[in-house]
Amino acid sequence: MSRSNHKRLGVGMDFSPCSIAALKWAVENFATEGDHVILLIIRPDANYEQGEMQLWEVTGAPYIPLAEFTDAEVMKKYGIKPTPELIAVAQKAANDKKVEVLMKVFWGEPGEKICQAIESVPLETIFMGNRGLSPLQRAFMGSVSNYVVNHATCPVTVVKSK
C-alpha cells in the first residue's frame, strides 16, 4: 500500500450486519477518492498455531486486495469467509468512490488488536459496528467497540445497529 495524502480508514469487520453497516456508513459519509479502506479482521489466537502466521502476530497478515476476497484458497489460508453482502459493498465502494479496499488479518483479542492496528497500519480513523448490547450484556460479555473507544489513539466512529 503506497503512502500518499489519501486517508487510511479502518473498519472493524466480523462479517456481521452491524460491521457491514459500519463499512457502508464509512464509505458513504467519509471516504473520498483515493482513500484506502482497510477491513480489520481479528481471528482467535488458536487459529494461527504454525508457520508464517506466527510471523504476523504483531504486524498482522499482508494486505489482501479486494480482487482476492472471493478467492477461496486465499480466504481459507486465513480461516475467513467473507459474506456475499460484504463483497458487494466493498466492490461498490471501490467502483463508486474510487477507493482501494483491502483486508488485513490479525490474531488475538479483538479490542487490543484493533488498537494495535491503528498504530501499525497506521489509521487516521476507525469505524466499528455496535451490536446493541444492553448495559448488563456489556458488563458480562464486554464490548469491543467500547474498548476501542476508550483505548484508540485515533478518532473512533461507532455505527449503531438498528
Q: What is the pTM of this model?
A: 0.87
* Cα–Cα–Cα angle for 39, 40, 44, rounded to 5 degrees: 140
CB atoms under 10 Å from CB of 26, counted, come to: 23
Largest CA distance in the chain: 44
C-alpha distances (whole Å) from 47 to each of 18, 78, 104, 161 are 24, 8, 15, 28
Q: Which CATH architecture has domain 11-160?
A: 3-Layer(aba) Sandwich (3.40)
pLDDT in tens, the chain (162 residues): 545 578 999 999 999 999 999 999 999 999 999 999 999 999 887 545 555 556 666 678 899 999 999 999 999 988 899 999 999 999 999 999 999 999 999 988 999 999 999 999 999 999 999 876 666 555 555 588 889 999 999 999 999 876
Task: Identify how many contiguous H helices and E strands the chain contains and give both numbers.
Answer: 7, 6
Residue with cell 502466521: 53
27, 66 in Cβ contact below 8 A? no
